[in-house]
Amino acid sequence: MQRLACLLLIALSAPVLAQEMEPGEWEFTTTMTAPGMPQPHAMTNKRCVTKEDSDPSRWADKQQGKSDCKVSPSKKSGGTYSWEVSCPSSGMKGTGTARVTSSTVDSELRLVADMGGQKMEMLNKTTGKRLGACKK
């Protein structure tokens, strides 16, 4: 269960790596699939994305204290971003990409986890859209 929570945290955090997201209330939907899962696991959440949230160096610092996962930005080209993630204590590592506009995000995170000597591959797809100003 702790691994699932960590995976969802990483998947939901990935779009925040993009610097061109317009601050405001955003809705993110993440769908996680893996071989052997009876059905995809989907989760939707809303959050207020501030200007500070869109700065990857500040955001990554916030996450480092919550888990041993390290998110390392790899490439930025136009509105496309890529990164690598490594979580040594849970045996997870992976890569992600995000396509970003000021009001939308479309990202994919591919993870491989060592589950007791067995490799498990997971795919997290996240879509996001800006809903408007943050609600107080």
Pairing of strands 70-77, 118-132: unpaired
In tens, the pLDDT along 25-68 reads 999 999 999 998 899 999 999 999 888 776 544 444 444 455 67
Domain ranges of the chain: 2-132
Q: What percent of the chain has pLDDT over 90?
A: 35
CA 56 to chain centre: 12
Q: Taking residues 79-96, what's their average pLDDT?
A: 87
Q: Which of 17-21, 22-26, 47-51, 66-70 has the lowest mean pLDDT?
A: 17-21
Q: Which two tokens stand for residue 37?
A: 């899962």
Q: What is the pLDDT of residue 8?
A: 45
pLDDT number for residue 51: 81
Instruction: Count other Cβ atoms within 10 Å, centred on residue 30.
Output: 24
